[in-house]
């Protein structure tokens, strides 16, 4: 996988993970263009497209688009499964995940992604193992005991 | 200094901004606060500040001033700091910044940390964005971790190694020992990442590939276990056990089995098993089937398996899920070259996909349809493709039009069909046609001699309808300029001829010149066309007027043309007819290979055929002209093409046929001709016939015979088979003279029974020198379709020592091989 982008229906970026070395400007430009291209596609169209010299796989879950750019020899259908697995992990972790969870806890989303994929490839195919690792890593975080009045924010993150 | 605002608080605040400007203001304020906090080297809140910075970076704001802070976080002892620090490094730093190298030491330390989650962070960061220098420095640590028994670390180390190898391929060797027992792991994470590592190594190095081939049985076993084992809750996805691992193994098997018979055989069974047993109701099953098909097609599989694979693709084509259809079309496109017939069976489904709503599917279906077009299905396929061309999106039209032209050129069942197809494309998608198709089409039209009247008529009618599509207009004006006389004469065989006057034609062409829709190139075409009509039409004065008007055109190109044409009317009027003659046949020199007979000399220069100049000796391309010239400048005309059917040989000794065949094969046959001594016309043939002799000795092995031996005149026959047609025997006679006087005015004639056809070529000379000083050779071609025994009656006349000699003889002793 070359990169993964999560973005909203309005084109706002919620997560970007790049597995290829590109400059900041370049990343922004690519990201913007790809987001526009995908948002321009109609609902009935297939989840794959050739964009520039890349194969792109995308799927919409509620208000979020999950988009991956894969290599020529990668299997598009299994990439859809990879995306789905990531959504399942987020769902399990946050408990019925929604876009807000990812907005307010973006660093968690990254941590989970980094336990599932490494260098663009899946490092663990067991859902349970990934979640266990995250849980244990979370335990290691030095918790600051602070009163959080707002019940909307998940109580998981209190480290900062 | 109050505590910096918390991350979630910041996020909430920024989200309340109603305008871009408001958001920017908030961000700038916060950035300023963060900057001063960084300046104070505050350890407590550094983590929080960097986290906020990362959020603002994601919104698109610059965050480079946080790079060093990330490094400080990574160096911290606190896990929270490290987590955010490494995340920041992966987001803000990349190998272009020198700063990133400072990470190396921290990563090295963390790779040896006591807590596996810290080690994991380091491995993850290195594996995501490690530069070549970093990889070089840390490869040893990664290799160490690859051998650990801790599966959590081992799987990460494997993928990290993949990244190291990608960055620094030379380091691949050092990971080889560690791969020894990777596949004996039970842990699926380790298995999966190991297979990825092995795949990477095999793809990069043929040596590694051969080394790892021995793993095929083990891989097959693992795959088998995955399929056969019962429900495993940990790895189950919709009833399939660990599809990610299955797909990866199938991909590795593909690489190992490619071009290796033994490996391919070893995996035959498991592939068949996967192909038949995988559940296809969900995407995950189809993902595995897809990978299986790719593997089957790529290795040396037996034909039954290949058919199974193509059938799976055929089923995919009918699947409701458009993703599956897309994937099927892509795979079929890859296999259409190798398994053409199998793919042909699914042609109708593929053509249906042209009507799919999805752009990607349509494109794939179009490419595949063009690949499937052949001589048998051209009419049906073209109908569908033209319909597609009419209704498709503009982004497809150029490619589709080019494809249609190519297919039509290769498989056109008739010239008329070809012209009609071109017309259809030009009239419906004329503005999307590629620039180079205009000259290609013009060349095509020129070559279809008998269709000129029909073509120009149809193009004229198209022009009357619509002058906006430039390629159509350009081709049409060219044709009208060339064949305008046919247009007004009202002759057309293919369809009802239209009645059009010269003035009407000139009105149309002049209309093109003044129209706003015409590009400068088109205008150039029209002006030239009008000029050409000056030799074909009678209304020369009108043309003169038009041309002189454009002599002062603002467009420089038009002006130049008009001025030159004006000159043609005034000073060079005597040359005008010759300059504006019909164009000769143009051969496409690039695509048709060595069969170049007539050079294209540009628009208005005289053609080589029509001029009569003495034959130069060495140029092969002019040989054809010379030989034709020998016929006394027959008006052979532009009919000599590579596609001309071979005419049956007639007994009158028509040079043209034989020469036509020989000179079209280019190269070798013309070479000896050019090196011959001073030209008597017949000597050229001498060269040819001595070549035949060569061939005879080396190849055919038919023994020569003496046909006649009397009064000192000996005639020997040598044989060879003319290779394109085994029914033709080529006999070369060699007449020699043992007497002490020359035999002059020597004429050899032959006759054969009615079932044969004879062709006698010119003799090398008509003097048989005395005392065997030389021979006269002559070539006879005999067509023997019924394979009957060859018999010949020959008549010889010559002058010897002042008296005329004439003799008749029968030749019956032909060796059986010459006529069987």
> pLDDT digit string (tens) for B710-729?
888 888 888 876 655 667 78
Contact of B487 with B517, CB cutoff 8 Å: no
Q: Which of chain A's residues have a Cβ under 8 Å away from the Cβ of B129?
A: 18, 21
Per DSSP bridges, beta strands B713-721 and B757-760 are: unpaired
A128 at the B interface (CB within 8 A)? yes
Residues B518 and B523: their CA atoms lie apart, in Å, by 6
Q: How confident is the model at residue B701 (pLDDT cuts 50, 70, 90)?
A: low
- Position B496 scores a pLDDT of 82
Where does A52-144 have alpha helices with state H? 76-94, 99-104, 106-116, 127-140
Number of Cβ within a 10 Å radius of residue B148: 14
- Position B738 scores a pLDDT of 86
B290 at the A interface (CB within 8 A)? yes
Cα separations (Å) of B472 from A85, B181, B281, B477? 54, 68, 50, 9
Q: How confident is the model at residue B810 (pLDDT cuts 50, 70, 90)?
A: confident
Note the Cα B536 to chain centre separation in Å.
41
Q: Look at the alpha carbons of B56, B59, B62, B64 in this order and tell me if their dihedral is positive or negative.
A: positive
What mean pLDDT do residues B100-129 have?
94
pLDDT at B167 over 70: yes
- Position B769 scores a pLDDT of 86
The dihedral over CA atoms of B532, B533, B535, B539, expressed in degrees to the nearest 10, equals: -140
User: What ipTM, to 2 d.p.?
Assistant: 0.92
Q: Per-residue pLDDT tens for B226-269?
A: 999 878 889 999 989 999 999 999 999 999 999 899 999 999 99
Q: How confident is the model at residue B818 (pLDDT cuts 50, 70, 90)?
A: confident
How many residue pairs from chains A and B have C-beta atoms closer than 8 A?
Answer: 174
Of all residues in chain A, the one with the smallest CA distance to B62 is A24
Q: Which positions 764-803 of B are in contact with A (Cβ < 8 Å)? A: none
Residues B77 and A51: their CA atoms lie apart, in Å, by 44
Q: Rounded to 5 degrees, what are φ and ψ at B445?
A: -65, -40
B361 at the A interface (CB within 8 A)? yes
Where does B258-339 have alpha helices with state H? 261-277, 283-298, 303-317, 322-335
Number of Cβ within a 10 Å radius of residue A58: 22
- Helices B470-489 and B437-447 meet at what angle, rounded to 10? 20
- Position B587 scores a pLDDT of 67
A5-14, B344-353, B577-586, B695-704: least confident range: B695-704
- Position A14 scores a pLDDT of 96
Q: Rounded to 5 degrees, what are φ and ψ at A103?
A: -65, -50
Q: Per-residue pLDDT tens for B44-59?
A: 899 999 999 999 999 9
What mean pLDDT do residues B34-41 have?
92
Say yes or no for a CB contact (<8 Å) between A76 and B323: yes
pLDDT at A34 over 70: yes
HEC string of B183-233 equals: HHCCCHHHHHHHHHHHHHHHHHCHHHHHHHHHHHHHHHHHHHHHHHCCCCC
Q: How many CA atoms lie within 13 A of B293 on its CB side?
A: 29
pLDDT at B473 over 60: yes
Q: Which of chain B's residues have a Cβ under 8 Å away from the Cβ of A47?
A: 323
Contact of B284 with B240, CB cutoff 8 Å: yes
Q: How confident is the model at residue A26 (pLDDT cuts 50, 70, 90)?
A: very high
Note the Cα B746 to chain centre separation in Å.
57
pLDDT at A154 over 60: no
pLDDT at B676 over 60: no
Q: Look at the alpha carbons of B448, B452, B455, B460 in this order and tell me if their dihedral is positive or negative.
A: positive
- Position B723 scores a pLDDT of 57
**What is the side-by-side strand order in the sheet with B792-800?**
B743-751, B792-800, B803-811
pLDDT at B212 over 70: yes
Q: How many CA atoms lie within 13 A of B699 on its CB side?
A: 11
Say yes or no for a CB contact (<8 Å) between B323 and A14: no
Cα separations (Å) of A121 from B80, B138, B142, B176, B813? 25, 20, 17, 20, 82
* Among the listed residues B179, B203, B305, the one whose alpha carbon sits nearest the alpha carbon of residue B256: B203
pLDDT at B653 over 80: no
Contact of B537 with B524, CB cutoff 8 Å: no
pLDDT at B663 over 80: no
Say yes or no for a CB contact (<8 Å) between A21 and B251: no
Q: Where in B305-424 does DSSP place strands (E)?
A: none
Residues A21 and A23: their CA atoms lie apart, in Å, by 7
Per DSSP bridges, beta strands B803-811 and B240-241 are: unpaired
Where does B551-666 have alpha helices with state H? 556-570, 576-579, 620-630, 655-664
- Position B231 scores a pLDDT of 84
Q: Which positions 512-531 of B are in contact with A (Cβ < 8 Å)? A: none
Higher pLDDT, B518 or B683: B518
Residues B100 and B71: their CA atoms lie apart, in Å, by 8
- Position B493 scores a pLDDT of 76
What mean pLDDT do residues B23-34 have?
95
B183 sits in the region (left: phi over 0; alpha: psi -120 to 50; else beta) called alpha
- Position A45 scores a pLDDT of 87
Say yes or no for a CB contact (<8 Å) between A136 and B117: yes
Number of Cβ within a 10 Å radius of residue B379: 13
Number of Cβ within a 10 Å radius of residue B177: 10
Residues B279 and B243: their CA atoms lie apart, in Å, by 11
What mean pLDDT do residues B425-450 have?
83
The helix/strand/coil state of B792 is strand
The dihedral over CA atoms of B485, B486, B489, B490, expressed in degrees to the nearest 10, equals: -150
What mean pLDDT do residues B798-802 have?
86
Element spanning B111, H or E: helix B103-111
The closest CB to that of A126, out of B55, B234, B323, belongs to: B234
Higher pLDDT, B643 or B382: B382
B316 at the A interface (CB within 8 A)? no
pLDDT at B472 over 80: yes
Contact of A58 with A6, CB cutoff 8 Å: no
A3-7, A78-82, B652-656, B702-706: least confident range: B652-656
Residues B170 and B173: their CA atoms lie apart, in Å, by 7
Q: Rounded to 5 degrees, what are φ and ψ at B742?
A: -65, 150
Q: Which positions 236-255 of B are in contact with A (Cβ < 8 Å)? A: 237, 242-245, 247, 251
Q: Which of chain A's residues have a Cβ under 8 Å away from the Cβ of B329?
A: none
Min Cα–Cα distance to chain A from B730, Å: 58
- Per-residue exposure over B666-688, b if at least 16 CB sit within 10 Å of its own CB, e if not: beebbeebbebeeeeebbbbbbb
B41 at the A interface (CB within 8 A)? no
Residue B425's contacts (CB-CB under 8 Å, 6 or more residues apart) are B386, B389, B401, B404, B405, B433
Number of Cβ within a 10 Å radius of residue B18: 7
Q: How confident is the model at residue B173 (pLDDT cuts 50, 70, 90)?
A: very high
Q: Which of chain A's residues have a Cβ under 8 Å away from the Cβ of B48?
A: 160
pLDDT at B696 over 70: no
* Among the listed residues A71, A104, A85, A134, the one whose alpha carbon sits nearest the alpha carbon of residue B236: A85
Q: Which of chain B's residues have a Cβ under 8 Å away from the Cβ of A123?
A: 155-156, 159, 189, 192-193
Cα separations (Å) of B70 from A23, B37, B100? 18, 14, 10
């Amino acid at each position: 996988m070359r990169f993964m982008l999560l973005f909203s229906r309005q084109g706002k970026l919620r997560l970007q993970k790049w597995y290829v070395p590109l400059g900041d400007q370049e990343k922004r430009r690519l990201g913007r263009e790809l987001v526009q291209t995908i948002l321009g596609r109609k609902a009935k169209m297939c989840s794959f497209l050739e964009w520039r010299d890349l194969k792109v796989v995308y799927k919409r879950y509620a208000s979020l688009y999950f988009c991956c750019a894969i290599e020529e020899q990668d299997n598009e259908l299994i990439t859809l499964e990879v995306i789905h697995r990531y959504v399942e992990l987020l769902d399990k972790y946050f408990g019925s995940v929604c876009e807000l969870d990812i907005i307010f806890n973006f660093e968690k989303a990254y941590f989970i992604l980094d336990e599932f994929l490494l260098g663009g490839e899946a490092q663990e195919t067991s859902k349970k193992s990934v979640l266990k690792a995250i849980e244990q890593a979370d335990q290691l975080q030095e918790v600051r005991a602070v009163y959080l009045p707002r019940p909307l924010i998940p109580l998981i993150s209190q480290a900062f | 200094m109050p505590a910096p605002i918390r991350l979630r608080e910041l996020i909430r605040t920024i989200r309340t901004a109603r305008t871009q400007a408001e958001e920017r203001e908030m961000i700038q304020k916060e950035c300023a606060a963060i900057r001063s906090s960084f300046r104070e080297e505050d350890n407590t809140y550094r983590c929080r500040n960097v986290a906020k910075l990362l959020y603002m970076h994601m919104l698109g704001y610059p965050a480079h001033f946080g790079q060093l802070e990330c490094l400080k976080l990574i160096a911290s002892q606190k896990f929270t700091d490290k987590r955010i620090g490494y995340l920041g490094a992966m987001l803000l730093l990349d190998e272009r910044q020198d700063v990133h190298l400072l990470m190396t030491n921290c990563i090295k330390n963390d790779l040896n940390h006591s807590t596996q989650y810290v080690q994991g962070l380091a491995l993850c960061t290195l594996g995501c964005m490690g530069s070549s220098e970093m990889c070089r420095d840390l490869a040893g640590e990664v290799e160490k971790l690859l051998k650990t028994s801790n599966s959590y670390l081992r799987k990460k180390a494997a993928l990290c190694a993949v990244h190291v190898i990608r960055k620094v391929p030379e380091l691949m060797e050092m990971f080889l020992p560690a791969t020894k027992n990777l596949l004996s792991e039970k842990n699926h994470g380790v298995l999966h990442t190991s297979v990825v590592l092995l795949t990477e190594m095999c793809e990069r190095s043929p040596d590694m590939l051969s080394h790892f081939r021995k793993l095929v049985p083990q891989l097959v076993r693992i795959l088998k276990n995955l399929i056969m084992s019962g429900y495993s809750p940990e790895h189950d996805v919709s009833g399939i056990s660990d599809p990610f691992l299955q797909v990866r193994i199938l991909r590795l098997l593909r690489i190992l089995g490619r071009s290796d018979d033994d490996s391919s055989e070893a995996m035959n069974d498991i592939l068949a098993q996967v192909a038949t047993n995988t559940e296809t109701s969900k995407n995950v099953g189809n993902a595995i089937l897809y990978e299986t098909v790719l593997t089957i097609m790529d290795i040396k599989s037996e034909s039954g398996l290949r058919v199974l694979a193509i059938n799976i693709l055929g089923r995919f084509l009918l699947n409701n899920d458009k993703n599956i259809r897309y994937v099927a079309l892509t795979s079929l496109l890859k296999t259409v070259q190798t398994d053409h017939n199998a793919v042909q069976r699914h042609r109708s489904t593929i053509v249906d996909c042209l009507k799919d709503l999805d752009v990607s599917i349509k494109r794939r279906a179009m490419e595949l349809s063009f690949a499937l077009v052949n001589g048998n299905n051209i009419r049906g396929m073209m109908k569908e493709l033209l319909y597609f061309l009419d209704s498709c999106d503009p982004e497809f039209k150029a490619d589709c039009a080019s494809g249609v032209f190519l297919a039509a050129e290769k498989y056109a069942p008739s010239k008329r069909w070809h012209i009609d197809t071109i017309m259809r494309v030009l009239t419906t998608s004329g503005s999307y046609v590629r620039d180079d198709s205009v000259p290609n089409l013009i060349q095509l039209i020129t070559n279809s001699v008998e269709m000129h009247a029909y073509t120009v008529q149809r193009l004229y009618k198209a022009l009357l309808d619509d002058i906006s599509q430039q390629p159509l207009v350009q081709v049409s004006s060219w044709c009208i300029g060339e064949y305008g006389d046919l247009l007004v004469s009202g002759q057309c065989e293919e369809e009802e001829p239209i009645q059009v006057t010269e003035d009407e034609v000139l009105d149309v062409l002049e209309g093109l010149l003044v129209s706003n829709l015409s590009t400068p190139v088109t205008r150039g075409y029209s002006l030239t066309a009008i000029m050409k009509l000056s030799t074909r039409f009678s209304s020369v004065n009108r043309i003169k007027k038009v041309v002189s008007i454009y002599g002062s055109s603002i467009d420089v190109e038009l002006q130049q043309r008009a001025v030159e044409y004006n000159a043609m009317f005034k000073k060079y009027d005597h040359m005008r007819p010759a300059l504006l003659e019909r164009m000769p046949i143009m051969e496409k020199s690039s695509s048709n290979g060595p069969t170049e007979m007539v050079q294209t000399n540009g628009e208005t220069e005289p053609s080589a055929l029509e001029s009569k100049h003495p034959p130069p000796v060495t140029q092969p391309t002019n040989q054809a002209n010379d030989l034709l010239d020998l016929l006394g400048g027959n008006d052979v005309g532009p009919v000599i093409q590579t596609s001309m059917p071979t005419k049956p040989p007639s007994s009158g000794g028509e040079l043209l046929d034989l020469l036509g065949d020989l000179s079209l094969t280019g190269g070798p046959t013309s070479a000896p001709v050019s090196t011959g001594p001073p030209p008597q016309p017949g000597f050229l043939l001498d060269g040819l016939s001595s070549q035949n002799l060569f061939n005879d000795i080396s190849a055919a092995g038919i023994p020569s015979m003496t046909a006649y031996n009397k009064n000192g005149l000996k005639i020997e026959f040598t044989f060879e088979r003319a290779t394109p047609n085994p029914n033709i025997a080529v006999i070369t006679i060699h007449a020699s003279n043992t007497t002490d006087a020359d035999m002059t005015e020597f004429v050899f004639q032959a006759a054969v029974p009615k079932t044969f056809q004879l062709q006698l070529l010119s003799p090398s000379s008509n003097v048989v020198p005395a005392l065997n000083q030389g021979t006269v050779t002559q070539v006879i071609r005999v067509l023997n379709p019924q394979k009957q025994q060859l018999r010949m009656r020959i008549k010889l006349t010559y002058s010897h020592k002042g008296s005329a000699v004439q003799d008749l003889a029968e030749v019956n002793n032909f060796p059986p091989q010459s006529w069987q």
